[in-house]
Structure 1
Amino acid sequence: MKIYSCQMHIDQALDELIEKEEVYPIMKAVPEFEKLSTKCTYCKESALYVVANK
């Protein structure tokens, strides 16, 4: 599972992944070449982070 998140929604993304997957999340920055085209899962802002379980 991957959740893309802006700065405002990072806590929500971390909580959702923990709740659904029951594992410790891995949070990484979105690579520079993907920042313009990748949007936050919760809003239309550019994603700054990827929260994943792998």
Structure 2
Amino acid sequence: MAGERAEILYGLDKVNNLRFSHENPSVIKCYEEYLGKPLSNRSHKLLHTNQKDW
């Protein structure tokens, strides 16, 4: 099942213009309007998880 998923994801990467989150206009806007800069305290607190806490 993982192999099938990987094939699909690689196929999508080949045909999509937008492949990286840091190039996504919605992500860029979110940082500009709310999160500040990457690795800021706010972005770290909201976007990063700690597996121990799970």
Query: TM class, shorter-chain normalised?
Result: under 0.3
TM-score w.r.t. structure 2 length?
A: 0.27
TM-score (norm 1): 0.27
Work out which structure has the larger RCO, using CA pairs closer than 8 Å and 6 or more positions apart in sequence.
1
Structure number with the higher strand fraction is: 1
Which of these two proteins has the greater Rg computed from alpha carbons? 2
